[in-house]
Chain A
Amino acid sequence: MRAALSTLKFLEAGSLSHAFKIMKTHPGIMPTAGCTDIYVSLNFGTLKVREFLNLWGLSELRKIQMKGDYLSIGSLATYTQIIHSDSVKKWIPMLIQASSSIGGMQIQNRGTLGGNIGNGSPAGDTLPVLAAAEAVVVLGSTEGIRRISFNMFYTGYRKNAMNPEELILSVEIPRIKSQQWYRKVGTRAAQAISKIVMAAVLSKDPEEQQDPRRIRIAFGSLAPTVIRAFRTETALAENGNITEAQKTLLSEIQPIDDIRSTALYRQTVAANLLAEWWGKVSPRSLIKS
């Protein structure tokens, strides 16, 4: 452990409004939930923060519930909770696939959806799901509550549109009348950080066939943030030609060489994943079957 843990401050949030106050009065404090990322970066010596806020006890942030037209998932909901939730299973099964692919069960028992969003790793496993689902992030502070579209949330590598004193309260997921698809490619089947993640939805609803948003594709680990492949979506929506769509995809992603993979590998696999998904869901393949 490179950080001296005895020197770290860990403030206790007694209630949500107390947490908001602490965020306002302690600039630079880092909110924490299951701490599964924090100890790793403290261990690496890469985390400079020395003051943390413990949100773990705020059970009101742990609820998963239907609220009219959308499913609300509290930021402190753990992956285990998400995996076992009937509402999530019905509403957004690809989030269950994503949650099951994160770490081992020990991590799933502690890691939270809000933590995955706040940590903002480009490889975050649930993030492409939220991007393809066009989720909304609910933020709170002493100033009140505001909502921001998930696709507007990240502004750069591990940077986001939150104000420093804001906390992530929940994620709202609208109804998706579409087939959902999720695929993670990592070093091994379980417990590995992703080399590439893809989430996609394709609406089969006849009413939505003229809607340009009926195809939505998102990738993780191919750019400094999770990305929506907007131009690829348009290409597929226009003529359904997968070869052209693959070329478009390669022009709109910027994968890098890193410890987990090479840019070339990521480009190849991204194009292959796109083809695999499209082969399964495209109108042409449905006619054949």
Chain B
Amino acid sequence: MQFTVNGKKVNVRAYPMKRLLDVLREDLGLTGTKEGCGEGECGACTVLINGEAVCSCLVPLAQVKGARVKTIEGVKHPIQEAFVREGGTQCGICTPGFIMSALTLPANVSLKEMQERLAGNLCRCTGYMGIYRAVKKGLKAKRGAKLVSLRVKKKSQKRKRVRSI
């Protein structure tokens, strides 16, 4: 079965109803995509197929024949740093899925639209506000740009923590 993952052509030999999630993790070693519920509720396994966000736990391998699949391993975007700095990630299981879904949103997305479009991604740690801040800032930042002001803040926080110990 031939398809493209993160811009590279791959040829996978596996049974046709093997879940794309398992193909990515087991056959291709791309363990960045996580399994949460395994039934399309939580969005942890979200990847992009031809640019559309899907739950990879519900996609049979046979249905990605010739398609372009993008996983978190193929993402290099300011949104990733924004998740770290805005407290958008805690335990980390939902984060790759959130980032993949967020990458399909327009850069000027409103909070309401963001809440609707990210309703298929569940987070049990953050309470979502950190995630929404990260998505907003990350999508606005230009590719390759560094979120300088935040980095300074992070360093100073680190220093404080060291002192208090």
The smallest beta-carbon distance between B14 and chain A, in angstroms, is 8
Tell me whether B38 and A106 are in contact (CB under 8 A): no
The smallest beta-carbon distance between A190 and chain B, in angstroms, is 3
Report B-chain residues with C-beta under 8 Å of the C-beta of A263. none
A104 within 8 A of B: yes
Known contacts A40-B40, A191-B41; is A107 also within 8 Å of B18 by CB?
no
Tell me whether B58 and A39 are in contact (CB under 8 A): yes
A203 within 8 A of B: no
Q: Which of A8, A189, A191 has the most CB of B within 10 A?
A: A191
Report B-chain residues with C-beta under 8 Å of the C-beta of A265. none
The smallest beta-carbon distance between B4 and chain A, in angstroms, is 17
Which residues in window 3-22 of B have CB below 8 A to A?
15-19
A10 within 8 A of B: yes
Distance A37 CA – B81 CA, assembled complex (angstroms): 35
Chain A interface size, as a band, is 20 to 34
Chain B interface size, as a band, is 20 to 34
Tell me whether B60 and A106 are in contact (CB under 8 A): no
Produce 1/0 per residue, B79-123, CB < 8 A to A. Answer: 000000000000000000000010010000000000011111100
Tell me whether A35 and B120 are in contact (CB under 8 A): no
Tell me whether B46 and A106 are in contact (CB under 8 A): yes
Distance A189 CA – B118 CA, assembled complex (angstroms): 12
B39 within 8 A of A: yes
Closest-by-CB residue of A relative to B105 is A105
Tell me whether B104 and A107 are in contact (CB under 8 A): no
Kindly specify which of B48-56, B131-139, B155-163 makes contact with the partner chain. Answer: B48-56
Report A-chain residues with C-beta under 8 Å of the C-beta of B78. none
Known contacts A36-B40, A54-B63; is A104 also within 8 Å of B119 by CB?
yes
* Candidates A10, A36, A52, A105; contact of B53 at CB < 8 Å: A105
Report A-chain residues with C-beta under 8 Å of the C-beta of B59. 35, 110
Distance A40 CA – B42 CA, assembled complex (angstroms): 13
Tell me whether B54 and A12 are in contact (CB under 8 A): no
Tell me whether B16 and A106 are in contact (CB under 8 A): no
Report B-chain residues with C-beta under 8 Å of the C-beta of A52. 17
* Candidates A12, A80, A105, A110; contact of B62 at CB < 8 Å: A12
* Candidates A40, A109, A189; contact of B54 at CB < 8 Å: A109
Known contacts A5-B17, A6-B15, A54-B63; is A104 also within 8 Å of B58 by CB?
no
Tell me whether A43 and B41 are in contact (CB under 8 A): no
Distance A35 CA – B104 CA, assembled complex (angstroms): 22
Tell me whether A106 and B54 are in contact (CB under 8 A): yes
Distance A251 CA – B131 CA, assembled complex (angstroms): 47
The smallest beta-carbon distance between B141 and chain A, in angstroms, is 23
A56 within 8 A of B: yes
Distance A191 CA – B40 CA, assembled complex (angstroms): 10
Tell me whether B40 and A106 are in contact (CB under 8 A): yes
A103 within 8 A of B: yes
Closest-by-CB residue of B relative to A11 is B16
Report B-chain residues with C-beta under 8 Å of the C-beta of A189. 119
- Which residues from chain A sit less than 8 Å from chain B, CB to CB? 1, 5-6, 8-10, 12, 34-36, 39-40, 43, 52, 54, 56-57, 80, 100, 103-107, 109-110, 189-191
Q: Give 6 A-B pairs besides A34-B58, A105-B120, A190-B119 with Cβ atoms closer than 8 angstroms.
A: A104-B43, A105-B53, A105-B104, A106-B101, A107-B120, A109-B54
Those 6 A-B pairs whose CB atoms lie nearest each other, nearest first: A104-B120, A190-B119, A10-B16, A8-B17, A40-B39, A109-B52
Q: Mind listing 29 A-B residue pairs with CB under 8 Å?
A: A5-B18, A6-B18, A8-B16, A8-B17, A9-B16, A10-B60, A34-B58, A35-B58, A36-B40, A36-B55, A36-B58, A39-B38, A39-B57, A40-B58, A54-B16, A56-B63, A103-B120, A104-B119, A104-B120, A105-B119, A106-B40, A106-B54, A106-B101, A107-B120, A109-B54, A110-B55, A190-B119, A191-B119, A191-B120
